[in-house]
Chains A and B, each alone.
Chain A
Amino acid sequence: MTDYPFLMELWAARGAILNGLGLTVAVSLLAIVLGSILGLFVGIGLTYGGGMVRFALRCYTELIRGTPVFVLILACFYILPVTGIQTTAFQAGLIGLLLFCGSHVGEIVRGALQAIPRGQSEAGKAIGLSFSQNFVYVLMPQALRQILPTWVNAATEIVKASTLLSVIGVTELLLATQQVISRTFIGMPFYLFAGAIYFAINFAIEQLGRYAERKVSLP
């Protein structure tokens, strides 16, 4: 051992930690993108859907938002296989995260759409726009400005929730770090290092969000 055992071990474990980081980024990115697409449709359904659609979507969002993500991930891991859907731990975790993301984004979209004054869509109708034209050109651009800040918040939540995948055996950044700690017995520095990486990821997401907000803000 030299004077800097942590730096030595960090260098020795760079492959394992980079693999973990890669998995964390991959699963978070996929969950955010797919979950946001799902959430967009959920939000539209909650706002404009008929009674049955609204009831079904309400059940989905209430159920998911009312249970811990942790339980959701375990449920995807243990319950999907016995219903005949065979998944890897990564897939099960991804499904859990994207369902979580979808329910939150769904509520964000619904809130943003309902916050737009009625007169806007009425004005759209009055000049002869179809529903989809009205939605794309009148409502969505206004809703987007409302959605962005809370959506960025939801995205950072997903990155943080991805640590829970370590429990079902996905070697993401946290589990990769724990594996290195168990071998080297250097606890605190490695945990701090992992924490710094999570912070860097979320800080980057927030900066990206700010940039997007400036782009879409009205002059």
Chain B
Amino acid sequence: MMLTASHITLKYGERKAVSDVSFSLQEGQWLMVIGPNGAGKSSLIAALSNTRPFQGKVTVRGQDIRILPPRPRAQAVGVLAQHQALHYAFTVEEVVRLGRYAHRNGWLAAHDPQGEAMVGQALQWTGMAELRERSVLTLSGGERQRVFLAQVLAQDPAILMLDEPAEALDLKYQKTLFELTDVWAAQPGKAVISVVHDLSVARRFGSHALLMRDGKCLAQGTKAEVLQPKHLNKAYGMDVGAWMRTLALPWAGYENGQNGNNQV
């Protein structure tokens, strides 16, 4: 078992952002955490990565995440967080290189034989190799997101946690991101948990899903079990299928070189 979460509760003051959520994740699985705004999806990631204090227990590869020292924890769990506010003009490469921190041991000796290769590969994967010398302050929102994606890929954790990773990314890099994550999850000893808003992505990618609303888990299991009208309509308070079909409609005929149906 890669990760087990038992009775996770996370509070902001008296308000419960996550309330008694339990699930487990096995090697090779990609868990899509979905739900409306304020459902507690990002807070769940904060608890699972021990970023915020929580009640309950999270074990990663059998070890309690609260007891794991920071470096082994970062080797086990890597997080791509939302909204990275930047204040200083670090270069792209400097930020990505920090992803290797958990693999370097000792104060002065930065012995990390795979480090250079991993950093180079992460920059290539995210299309940031050309911009490696650029200051992060001069990058667009989407490019910054790719820098931090490259950082967490260079970190090479066993469990990759992505909190709304496609936000601010253009179509090309959304495609790259999800296809890359698909390949990543299939590697031995890896698993992925990602928070996504786009239900089409959740239907297309991932193996499992966890649907949240008001901090609670409404449904969990395989994609087929969770992404059903009865669960989704209840969680979002609307006819989800009808809306998704409405969105897809204008694309009918697009492949044949026609302009598609722009009438909704």
Bound pair (A, B) = no
B residues apposed to A, CB below 8 Å = none
A residues apposed to B, CB below 8 Å = none
